[in-house]
Amino acid sequence: MQLVRQKEHNSQQGHRYAAGSRSRFGVAVAALLVAALGTACGSGGSDGPDKAAKEKAAKAAEAGAAGALSAAEKAKAAQQARVAAAKRWGLRKTPLTAPAAPKEKPEITTRDGFEVEDQEEYPPVFTTVPTEDKVVFLTIDDGSEKDPEFLKMMKELKIPYTAFLSDYVVRDNYPYFKEMQAAGVTLNNHTINHRYMPGLSYEQQREEICGQQDIIQKQFGKRPTLFRPPYGNYNQDTLRAAKSCGIKAVPLWNAEAFTNRMDYREWDRDLHPGDIILTHFRGKEDWKGTMPDMIRHVMKTVTDKGYAVARLEDYL
């Protein structure tokens, strides 16, 4: 229909420009115009497939741009979620985001003064991970307090931590720690009964450490590689036993967090890159506050000093 109308219009024009003479030239112009218009309509013209390809490329480019945009938007949304979570959980500042995990893991050696005889044969004992990243590591011991709010808080804030479990306080509620593990937390070895290791024979220590390895493997499906002796006390038998149970490293700590204070090992009473922070699964029975109170306090200290909490396993 449109072509027909166009043809009539062009015919009239052709007629007019032909200055009254119904010449063959005028008709020819009209015919040419129609032909040109027909091509412009693109109905099966020679540029059809070309055009389809161009459209396809344009769509791909658009999709690519949208992908890049959504990654930026994703990061923005993640940050907004962190800010909102920090507000919701009463943190004064939003926790800093840790850098990407190091491509090469640092070489861990035993801290000076922490060696046992023939130390080089045993898993290293350390309180700080050698790194220049402005990160610290959060480790939580024992397991008596099982506060669901704590799990929720850490999940929403996306703060990584590592747990060192003693079965005698964990066994009444394995599902609590299963939920923790499902959130990405590694469950490590802190012996079965939390005894003072140097007071035990080699065999007794082996039972405490290897026994806890077996329990964690059975209950949580994964054999730990990290061990922390109760109270941080150990002797050569402890490290020998730990090694025989498959332990690769013995992280102690350089700072300890409570609900209302931090204790430091170093004379400067400060945090350092790679410091391991110890705290406990404890509640109001032991502390003047809850586990979320403790996290609020430790995160205030860590963030004020310009540190991010990183995943210990990323560095070991």
Binding site for Zn ion (CB under 5 A): 141-142, 230
Q: Which residue lies nearer to Zn ion by CB, 212 or 219? A: 212
Find the shortest distance in angstroms from Cβ 252 to Zn ion: 11
Cβ contacts of residue 259 below 8 Å, gap of 6+? 287, 288, 289, 290, 293, 294, 297
Q: Which is nearer to Zn ion, 160 or 230 (CB)?
A: 230
Q: With respect to Zn ion, which residue has the nearer C-beta, 144 or 290?
A: 144
* Cβ 72 to Zn ion shortest distance, Å: 44
Rounded least distance, CB 204 to Zn ion, Å: 17
By beta-carbon distance, which residue lies closest to Zn ion? Answer: 141
CB closer to Zn ion out of 194 and 297: 194
Nearest to 249 by CA among 234, 262, 264: 234
How does DSSP classify residue 8?
Answer: H
Radius of gyration (Cα) for the chain, nearest Å?
35
Query: Is the four-CA dihedral 222, 183, 169, 128 of positive or negative sign?
Result: positive
CA dist list (Å): 40 to 28, 31, 43, 61, 102: 18, 14, 8, 26, 59
User: What sign results for the dihedral spanned by CA atoms 203, 207, 209, 210?
Assistant: positive
Pick 195 or 311: Cβ nearer Zn ion: 195
Euclidean distance between CA atoms 295 and 96, whole angstroms: 14
Smallest separation (angstroms) from Zn ion to the CB of 285: 16
The helix/strand/coil state of 179 is helix
Output the smallest distance, CB 251 to Zn ion, in A: 13
122 vs 253, beta carbon nearer Zn ion: 253
In whole angstroms, the minimum distance from the beta carbon of 141 to Zn ion comes to 4
Distances (CA, A) of 113 to 11, 116, 119, 261: 104, 9, 11, 27
Q: Which is nearer to Zn ion, 232 or 246 (CB)?
A: 232
Cα–Cα distance list, 154 to 40, 84, 95, 279 (Å): 63, 13, 11, 14
Instruction: Identify whether the C-beta of residue 223 lies closer than 8 Å to the C-beta of residue 264.
Output: no
Minimum Å distance from CB 311 to Zn ion?
21
